[in-house]
Structures are given as C-alpha cells and as structure tokens.
C-alpha cells in the first residue's frame, strides 16, 4: 500500500499536511499554512526534495529522542518527523519518507 499526503486543518484554522506510510503511520508533518495553496506547495516541495539525502537534518531532542527535519533547497524546514527511541528507527523513518513521498497521492480532508 502506497503512502499518501493528508491535508487537514489545525484547531487554529491553519492548514497542515501529514505524510502517512502505507500502514497509516504519520512519518512527516508540516508546519501550519494560512491557506491551502501554501500547503499544497509544501507537499510539492516534499515530493521534490524527499529523495535527496542531503536534505535530511538528523537531530536529537533535549530529552534524547531522535527525529529529523526535511529541508527545502533554501534550507527551510518543510516537514518534521515524530520522535523516535533510537537512531536506527529515525533512519528507517527517513527511508520511509524517501520511498513513500515521491509518488504519494494527496487526500484533502478539508474539502
């Protein structure tokens, strides 16, 4: 089962997308966007940048959890992962984004 981008709305009215793996698990979440067009541009940017390993910023949080950011060409964060217990789990998350994002369908749950 292929991955998909799901567009939703935050409680403050901003649009957000989540990239979900084939099993339904969220593997990447966006920032909030004021309008749906910006959100869709963010999805396009993820699709374009997701296969480039240099675009992944591998991080460790203050409570020693592992996560990553996907960066656009201008070094802006376009998506952030969940927190992982181990470095290997985080790296599996990156691999999942690389394999799911390029051809993922877009599902708009705000329509």
Residue indicated by tokens 């920032």? 31
% of residues, the chain, pLDDT over 70 = 99
Please tell me the total count of domains within the chain. 1
Q: The CATH number of the domain where 101 resides is what?
A: 2.30.29.80
Write down the pLDDT at residue 2. Answer: 80
Per residue in 16-32, pLDDT tens?
999 999 999 999 999 99
Domain boundaries, position 27:
4-108
How many other CB atoms are found less than 10 A from the CB of residue 6?
A: 19
Per-residue pLDDT of the chain (111 residues; tens, 9 = 90+): 689 999 999 999 999 999 999 999 999 999 999 999 999 999 999 999 999 999 999 999 999 999 999 999 999 999 999 999 999 999 999 999 999 999 999 999 997
Query: In 3D, which of 49, 20, 44 has the Cα closest to residue 109?
Result: 20
For residues 83 and 54, give the distance between their C-alpha atoms in angstroms, rounded to a whole number: 20
């Amino acid at each position: 089962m292929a991955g998909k981008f799901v567009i939703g709305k935050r409680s403050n009215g901003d649009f957000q997308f989540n990239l979900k793996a084939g099993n339904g698990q969220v593997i990447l979440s966006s920032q909030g966007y004021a309008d749906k067009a910006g959100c869709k541009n963010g999805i396009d940017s993820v699709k374009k940048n997701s296969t480039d390993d240099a675009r992944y910023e591998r991080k460790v949080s203050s409570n020693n959890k592992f996560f990553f950011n996907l960066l656009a060409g201008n070094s802006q964060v376009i998506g952030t992962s969940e927190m992982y217990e181990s470095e290997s789990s985080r790296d599996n998350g990156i691999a999942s984004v690389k394999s799911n994002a390029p051809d993922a369908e877009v599902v708009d749950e705000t329509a």
